Amino acid sequence: MTAFENLKKLLEEKGTLSPEEVETAEKEHGAMTDEEKLWLEAEKHKKDHAERQTITMDEYLAASAVLDSAEEGSEEYKKALETVEKFESGM
3-state SS, 6-56, equals HHHHHHHHHCCCCHHHHHHHHHHHCCCCHHHHHHHHHHHHHHHHHHCCCCC
pTM for this model (two decimals): 0.55
The tens digit of pLDDT for each residue in 8-63 reads: 999 999 888 888 999 999 999 999 999 999 999 999 888 777 666 678 899 999 99
